[in-house]
Amino acid sequence: MDTRLVTDTLQEALSKYPVPACFNSDQGSQYTSHKYTGLLKNHNIQIYMSGKGRSIDNIVMEIFFRTLKYNCNIINEF
């Protein structure tokens, strides 16, 4: 899988916003690539990843974004 999208997005975010102390992602190949993890390490960002096969690790954020998307779609339909 190509890591260009995630690394370009991360680089853009790091250029616009303060560097976070930690970063959480899943264990997809684009997030575990040497290029992506190296970028995080070069900025001294602690890397946290959801456990393999643990879809509920990010459940709070998944519910938040589902709710946000649902509410924005309902509001924008009218």
d(CA 15, CA 34): 20
Domains in the chain: boundaries: 4-77
Q: Does 45 have pLDDT greater than 80?
A: yes
Reported as a single tens digit per residue, the pLDDT across 12-40 is: 999 999 999 988 887 888 888 999 999 99
d(CA 54, CA 77): 34
The least confident of 35-39, 45-49, 71-75 is: 71-75
Contacting residues for 16 by C-beta, under 8 A, at least 6 apart:
none
The average confidence (pLDDT) of the chain is 83
Angle in degrees, 0-180, between the axes of helices 34-42 and 4-16, rounded to the nearest 10: 10
Q: Does 4 have pLDDT greater than 90?
A: yes
pTM over 0.75: no
We find that the CATH architecture of domain 4-77 is 2-Layer Sandwich (3.30)
* Helix, strand, coil content of the chain in percent (nearest 5): 60, 10, 30
According to the model, what pLDDT value does residue 54 have? 63
| Torsions phi, psi for 33 (to 5 deg) | -65, 155
